[in-house]
Structure 1
Amino acid sequence: MKKIYLGLLAMSTATFQSQKFPDMKAPVAEKQEHIREIHGDKVNDPYYWMIDFFKKGKDSTKVVDYLKAENTYWEGMMKDTEPFREKLFQEMKARIKEKDESVPVFKNGYYYYTRTEAGKQYFKYCRKKGNLTAPEEILLDVDKQAEGHAYYSASGFNISPDNTKMIFGVDNVSRRQYSLFLKDLNTGKITDLGIKNTNGSSEWANDNKTIFYAENNPETLLSEKIKKHSLGTDSSKDITVYEENDKTNYIFVYKSKNEKFILIHSTSTTSSETKYLDADNPDGTFKVFQPRMKNVLYTVTPLEDKFLIKTNKDALNFKIVETPLDKTGVDNWKDFIPHRKDVLMESITPFKNYLVFSERQNGLSQLVIYDRKTGKQEFLKFDEPVYTVYSSGNPEYNTDNFRFGYTSMITPSSQYEQDLKTGKRTLLKQQEVLGGYNKENYITERLFATAKDGTKIPISIVYKKGFKKDGNSPLLLYAYGSYGSSMDATFSSTRLSLLDRGFAYAITHIRGGQEMGRQWYEDGKMMKKKNTFTDFIDSGEYLVKEKYTSPKHLYAQGGSAGGLLMGAVANMSPNLWNGVISQVPFVDVVNTMLDTSIPLTTNEYDEWGNPNNKEAYFYMKSYSPYENIEKKNYPNLLVTTGLHDSQVQYFEPAKWVAKLRDMKTDKNVLLLKTDMEYGHGGASGRFDYLKDTALVYAFMFKLEGINK
Structure 2
Amino acid sequence: MDKNLPQTAKVESERIFHGDVFVDSYEWLRDRESEEVLSYLRAENDYTARVTADQEPLRETIFQEIKSRVLETDLSVPTRVGDWWYFTRTIEGEQYPVYCRVAALTEGSVEERFTPPQVEPEQTLSGEEVLLDCNDFARDLDFFSLGSFQPSLSGELLTFGVDDSGSERYRQYFKDLTTGELLDDHLDNIFSGAYLTPDAAGLVYSLVDDSWRPYEVRLHTIGSTEADRVLFTEKDPALWLESSLSEDRSHLVLTSYSSEYTEVRLLALDALEEPARLVIDKKQRIQYGVEPITIGGESYLLIQHDHEALNSELVLAPYPAGESFEDYRTRWLPVMPHRSDVRIEGFALTADHLVVTARQDTTVKVFLTELNQLSSLLASESAAGLDFSEPAGFFEEIYTTSVMSTSIDSPVVRILYTSWVTPTQIFDYFPRSESLNLRRETPVLGGYNPGDYTAYRMWAPARDGEMIPLSIIHRADLDLETEHPLFQHGYGSYEVSMDPYFSVARLSLLDRGVIYAVAHIRGGGELGRDWYQQGKKLKKINTFTDFIDSTDFLSQRRWVDANRIVIEGGSAGGLLMGAVANMAPEKYRAVIAEVPFVDALTTILDPDLPLSALEWEEWGNPIEDQQVYQYMKSYSPYENIRPVTYPAIVAITSFNDTRVLYVEPAKWIAKLRETVTADTPVPLLKIEMDGGHGGGSGRYTRWKETAWSYAFALTHLLPDAPK
* Structures share fold, TM-score greater than 0.5: yes
Q: Which residue of 2 aligns with 1:19?
A: none
CA contact (8 A) 2:594 2:653 kept: yes
**Distance in 2 between the 1:411 and 1:254 partners?**
33
Could you tell me which of 396, 400, 418 is aligned with 1:388? 400
Q: Which residue of 2 aligns with 1:275?
A: 265
Q: Which amino acid aligns with 1:473?
A: H
Alignment of 1:473 onto 2:463: no
**Distance in 2 between the 1:548 and 1:517 partners?**
31
- CA deviation vs aligned residue, 1:494-526 (integer Å, no higher than 9, x gap): 100010111111111100011100001111001
**Distance in 2 between the 1:259 and 1:159 partners?**
15
- CA deviation vs aligned residue, 1:663-700 (integer Å, no higher than 9, x gap): 11133242110111111111110111111111111112
Alignment of 1:702 onto 2:715: yes
1:482 CA drift (Å)? 0.5
Could you tell me which of 671, 674, 680 is aligned with 2:687? 674
Q: Which residue of 1 aligns with 2:556?
A: 545
Could you tell me which of 200, 204, 213 is aligned with 1:208? 200
1:243 CA drift (Å)? 0.5
Q: Which residue of 1 aligns with 2:232?
A: 242
Q: Which residue of 2 aligns with 1:230?
A: 221
What aligned pairs does 1:160-309 form with structure 2 within 5 A after superposition?
A: 160-191=152-183, 193-217=185-209, 219-234=210-225, 237-305=227-295, 306-309=300-303
What aligned pairs does 1:119-134 form with structure 2 within 5 A after superposition?
A: 119-131=93-105, 132=117
CA contact (8 A) 1:580 1:637 kept: yes
3-state SS of paired residue (2:243): strand
1:159 CA drift (Å)? 2.2
1:270 CA drift (Å)? 1.3
CA contact (8 A) 1:551 1:578 kept: no
Paired residue total: 679
Which stretch of structure 1 is more off in the superposition, 120-129 or 563-572?
120-129
1:429 CA drift (Å)? 0.5
1:192 CA drift (Å)? 5.5
3-state SS of paired residue (1:64): helix
Q: Which residue of 1 aligns with 2:137?
A: 145
1:587 CA drift (Å)? 0.3
CA contact (8 A) 1:115 1:124 kept: yes
Q: Which residue of 1 aligns with 2:40?
A: 66
CA contact (8 A) 1:161 1:206 kept: yes
Could you tell me which of 619, 622, 631 is aligned with 2:634? 622
Alignment of 1:105 onto 2:79: yes
Which stretch of structure 1 is more off in the superposition, 619-628 or 327-336?
327-336
What aligned pairs does 1:262-411 form with structure 2 within 5 A after superposition?
A: 262-305=252-295, 306-325=300-319, 327=321, 330=325, 331=328, 332-374=331-373, 375-381=386-392, 382-394=394-406, 396-411=407-422
Q: TM-score, normalised by structure 1?
A: 0.93
**Distance in 2 between the 1:220 and 1:192 partners?**
30
What aligned pairs does 1:442-521 form with structure 2 within 5 A after superposition?
A: 442-470=453-481, 472-521=483-532
**Distance in 2 between the 1:69 and 1:326 partners?**
60
Distance change >3 Å, CA 327–CA 354, structure 1 → 2: farther
Alignment of 1:596 onto 2:607: yes
3-state SS of paired residue (2:64): helix
CA contact (8 A) 2:647 2:680 kept: no
**Distance in 2 between the 1:349 and 1:669 partners?**
51
**Distance in 2 between the 1:651 and 1:105 partners?**
41
1:372 CA drift (Å)? 2.6
Q: Which residue of 1 aligns with 2:580?
A: 569
Distance change >3 Å, CA 400–CA 468, structure 1 → 2: same
1:558 CA drift (Å)? 0.1
**Distance in 2 between the 1:125 and 1:542 partners?**
47
1:459 CA drift (Å)? 0.4
Q: Which residue of 2 aligns with 1:75?
A: 49
Q: Which amino acid aligns with 1:96?
A: V
Q: Which amino acid aligns with 2:13?
A: H
1:282 CA drift (Å)? 4.1
Q: TM-score, normalised by structure 2?
A: 0.91
Alignment of 1:691 onto 2:704: yes
CA contact (8 A) 2:159 2:173 kept: yes
3-state SS of paired residue (1:687): helix
**Distance in 2 between the 1:192 and 1:537 partners?**
56
- CA deviation vs aligned residue, 1:319-360 (integer Å, no higher than 9, x gap): 001112464864133322111111100000212321111000
CA contact (8 A) 2:146 2:160 kept: yes
Q: CA RMSD in A?
A: 1.7
**Distance in 2 between the 1:471 and 1:569 partners?**
27
Could you tell me which of 31, 34, 46 is aligned with 1:52? 31
CA contact (8 A) 1:170 1:200 kept: no
CA contact (8 A) 1:220 1:599 kept: yes
Q: Which amino acid aligns with 2:423?
A: P
Report 1 or 2 for greater relative contact order, CA contacts < 8 Å, sequence distance ≥ 6: 1
Alignment of 1:559 onto 2:533: no
3-state SS of paired residue (2:359): strand
Distance change >3 Å, CA 653–CA 662, structure 1 → 2: same
Could you tell me which of 90, 114, 119 is aligned with 2:64? 90
3-state SS of paired residue (1:435): coil
Q: Which residue of 2 aligns with 1:432?
A: 443
- CA deviation vs aligned residue, 1:457-495 (integer Å, no higher than 9, x gap): 000111012323356311111011001111101110010
1:195 CA drift (Å)? 2.1
Distance change >3 Å, CA 328–CA 171, structure 1 → 2: farther
Q: Which amino acid aligns with 1:356?
A: V
Could you tell me which of 6, 11, 17 is aligned with 1:32? 11
1:307 CA drift (Å)? 1.4
CA contact (8 A) 2:81 2:153 kept: no
1:161 CA drift (Å)? 3.4
Q: Which amino acid aligns with 1:677?
A: D
- CA deviation vs aligned residue, 1:286-339 (integer Å, no higher than 9, x gap): 222232233201111222222101000111000001112464864133322111
Q: Which residue of 1 aligns with 2:21?
A: 42
1:71 CA drift (Å)? 1.1
**Distance in 1 between the 2:225 and 2:97 partners?**
31
- Unmatched 5+ stretches in structure 1: 1-21
